[in-house]
Chain A
């Protein structure tokens, strides 16, 4: 499995402040990599360094096996599409005119552009000036521009920003097809953990410039036992039974955390033995949010 992006000992300092200090970050070819972190963690800066928009203070970035520097920049960028810090466009031109510029810039045939437009769902708005687009439309235009030459690597900075739920769903679907149908590797950053969970195969979490986790989604959740929700006829009494465990009283039952399989069976038996009726047992896996808070000690992204 070849590495699409491999980062070693990447450091970026602004004056005396070290904004990024990544020992290692690896993105495999053909995967969708979710890059998460709180505001100011260094996500954008890292992505910009991958695109050579910002020069690292130290360290190496390898893309498709070649080091990214001033000499390789042009050749590598031909294989990379990006959407960084919001969409870029010429507001006095129409959507179509903007895409035509991209067509010439990236030297791709017209049908690429038409396909990109179709994929993001902007076909009916191409003749409007971009300054009259809504934020969501601009965002979609930005994605269309990024994928228009169907590059090997796509870097998306918060691609669902500004989209309504339907739009987010479409964007999710779109991103999922990119590796499958077009052979692209996707690196996306996001604040909306729900989105990331549904789409990515690998996750990297960055906080204060350091990588605090990298691996698959499954790995992230594996070491955490699930919580079990017991819906019973007498939640109050149930709660009293398990006071010594990590339990929470809910409206119709009790939520108990960190239960192994045998512990779960034990709880179920105890409830039934006490004469309480057990209606339902549901597994509640820790959401990414909860894991995140656990890992970074921060309440929100």
Chain B
């Protein structure tokens, strides 16, 4: 299994995704910083205020879309040049094949989060010269949203595996983000709608708008949702491979 994951990275080696993986979090932080700077009089809580600004659009759209682009790219390599015939004739179970993709993309996702965190820190510390302590909650937010991003990887992987075009899954991802915002904002149903889509879960995980830390029970619900979604989409992916065989 480690072999499969190693191979994914060998394949991603000469691609341009690493550029996107660096630039997009960078621009997100830059954007948020700009907004923070212009509204300094209102945003008084230094680190926390900066966080709300940088993570807003990132969590709403751009983190998810970047993952979608990487998934599209990863699966496109297999769709081209007759590679499906080779992959399905390898002595690996379909489960292993799918998981190796999801794991490799999740690792890239982790790098994106790390870069985001680094830029956030650098901006707060050196550009704005914050005097207060670095908020420990940020690590939780970054960590939780990364874990949730695994379910997004799983979902996008399923979509990209079945839709051979590069750009359509990205368009779908954007659409799902949109719906995700709707789910997040919708106050009915005890605000539970947010657990029904990976995209909305991610928004909640990034916690840009929350004024206080989420309750532990909410985190537990999010993790369970993530797990269920991940398993669900892996299962769907395996079924679609079996369908292809017919």
Contact = CB atoms under 8 A, between A and B. Distances in A.
Is any CB of A less than 8 Å from a CB of B in the complex? Answer: yes
Interface in A69-104: 73-78, 80, 82, 84-93, 97, 100-101, 104
B175 to A, nearest CB: 29
A181 interface: no
Contact of A53 (B3, B81, B85, B91): B85
Contacts of B90: 77, 105-106
A264 interface: no
A85 B82 contact: yes
A54 to B, nearest CB: 5
A273 interface: no
A77 B10 CA distance: 23
A65 B92 CA distance: 20
Nearest to A82: B89
A85 B85 contact: yes
A89 B11 contact: no
A90 B81 contact: yes
A86 B10 contact: no
Contacts, number: 76
A52 interface: yes
B215 interface: no
Contacts of A82: 85-86, 89
Contacts of A78: 91
Nearest to B3: A104
Nearest to B77: A90
Contact of A51 (B15, B81, B89): B89
B245 A54 contact: yes
Contacts of A87: 81-82
Chain B: interface size category: 20 to 34
Given A90-B81, A91-B81, A145-B86, A104 B10 contact: yes
Contact of B11 (A75, A84, A101, A145): A101
Interface in A39-78: 48, 51-55, 73-78
B131 interface: no
A167 to B, nearest CB: 20
Contacts of B81: 87-91
A54 B246 contact: yes
B19 interface: no
Contact of A52 (B86, B92, B245): B245
A77 B80 contact: no
Interface string B66-104: 000000000001001111011011111100000000000
A97 B14 CA distance: 11
Nearest to A55: B245
Nearest to B83: A88
Nearest to B245: A55
B86 A88 contact: yes
A110 to B, nearest CB: 14
Contacts of A90: 11, 77, 81, 83
Interface of A: 48, 51-55, 73-78, 80, 82, 84-93, 97, 100-101, 104-107, 145
